[in-house]
Amino acid sequence: MNKSQPGPGVVRGRGAVSNATGRYEMLARDAFDDGWGEEDEPKKLTTSLARENARTILSRNDSPDIGFDRSINPYRGCEHGCIYCYARPSHAYMGLSPGLDFETRLFFKPDAARLLEAELSKKGYKPERVHIGGNTDPYQPTERRLKITRSVLEVLERFGHPLSVITKSNLIVRDLDILSRMAARNLASVAISITTLDRALARAMEPRAATPGKRLEAVARLSEAGVPVSVMFAPAIPGLNDHEMEAVLEAAAKAGARGAGYVTLRLPLEIKDLFREWLEENRPDRASRVMSLVRQSRGGKDYDPRWGSRMVGSGPVAELLKARFGVAVRKFGLNQQSRGADLTQFKVPVRQGGQMDLFG
């Protein structure tokens, strides 16, 4: 049975069911029902934005599980509200909850373009593909007004710097002018995350993200414009959406996707409790079954953080997902050999009114 109405205390249009205190706080808040709640009128929360005065914009990593060593995240927190989002625990570093705070109390980096230009201009900088959106979505709703992600793309185009973007928003088609020009120079690729084709499940699990249909439209628009686009079936949740893997990949291939990837559900830190609460509220009939399968794919635990295992899991459930994915990408002609990003076009542009390098 799927619930059609939110339960008492549940916030309408949001992913998390609760707003538990961040793990670094000395005092904990715990909501409870004392019988005086407004059961018939679920709470509503507005989104707040705060400026983050970042000192750098390029984040570095040396993870062997990730195919890039640097990324840009124009925003902290994400209004899409995806209940499974692996970035949720990072809000605890801000003294905020990985629950509702993560999707309602957002931070933006207005100086992102200026910081990026300064970092790319440093003597000795060596270009490698920079990934936009490795933590939170660069095209969440507030980007429509703030245009920080677009300003970052403008800098990267001017420097001839290769990039990749991942999003679950069709707002990315707004920037087709830049992305298509860069793709023509072998400098840009895009991944669209599609976790389900079921509108009801998407609405509950990713309440403020674009509908599955809109994401497929974005795949088609990008492909038609010559931008290499992949689909990410992420996360694959055993017992909840994993049965849709083949259907999602087939629909994406028909829309023009060239590649595909998947990630098995990850439940580090606070996410395990947030996800369990969400299951009990939204899919009570299968909550215990889903969590059992998740643990079966993680060595009997809610999560296994080991390198080489954390993205795909282990054991029979995970191996079956891996085998099905391999069959599907071959069947639908995905993940054909593609060119790597061109690093040779990178060049620090001459500042307006500046002097060219004599030996440049």
Residues 263-305 have pLDDT tens digits of: 999 999 999 999 999 999 999 999 999 999 999 999 999 988 8
For the chain, report the end-to-end CA distance as a whole number of angstroms. Answer: 66
> Which of 60-64, 74-78, 117-121, 256-260 is predicted least confidently?
60-64
Tokens read off for 82: 């995806």
Mean of pLDDT values over 226-243 = 97
Listed in sequence order, the residues at least 6 apart from 110 whose beta carbon sits closer than 8 Å to its beta carbon are 51, 146, 148
Out of 34-38, 60-64, 105-109, 230-234, which region has the weakest mean confidence (pLDDT)? 34-38
Non-local CB neighbours of 221 within 8 Å, separated by 6+ positions: 173, 176
pLDDT confidence of residue 66: 80
Tell me the C-alpha distance between 265 and 268, whole Å. Answer: 10
Please determine, for residue 6, whether its predicted confidence score (pLDDT) is greater than 60.
no
pLDDT at site 359: 41
pLDDT digits (tens, 9 = 90+) for 166-188: 999 999 999 999 999 999 999 99
- Contact between residue 87 and residue 306 where contact means Cβ atoms under 8 Å apart: no
Q: Which uninterrupted H or E stretch holds 107? A: strand 105-108
Can you name the residues that pair with 106 across neighbouring β-strands?
Answer: 49
CB 271 within 8 A of CB 98: yes
**Over 50: is that where the pLDDT of 57 sits?**
yes
How confident is the model at residue 260, as a pLDDT?
97
Q: Within a 10 A sphere around the Cβ of 126, how many other Cβ atoms?
A: 6
Q: Would you kindly state where each structural domain of the chain is located, as residue ranges? A: 48-260
pLDDT tier at 31, thresholds 50, 70, 90: low
* pTM of the full structure: 0.89
Burial class (CB in 10 A: 0-12, 13-18, 19+), 220: middle
What pLDDT, on a 0 to 100 scale, did the predictor assign at position 198? Answer: 98
Nearest CA among 128, 87, 66 for reference residue 263: 66
CATH 3.20.20 fits 48-260, yes or no: yes
**What is the Cα 56 distance to its own chain's centre?**
21
Q: Are 132 and 151 in contact (CB under 8 A)?
A: no
Q: What is the DSSP string of 249-267?
A: HHHHHHHT--EEEEEE---
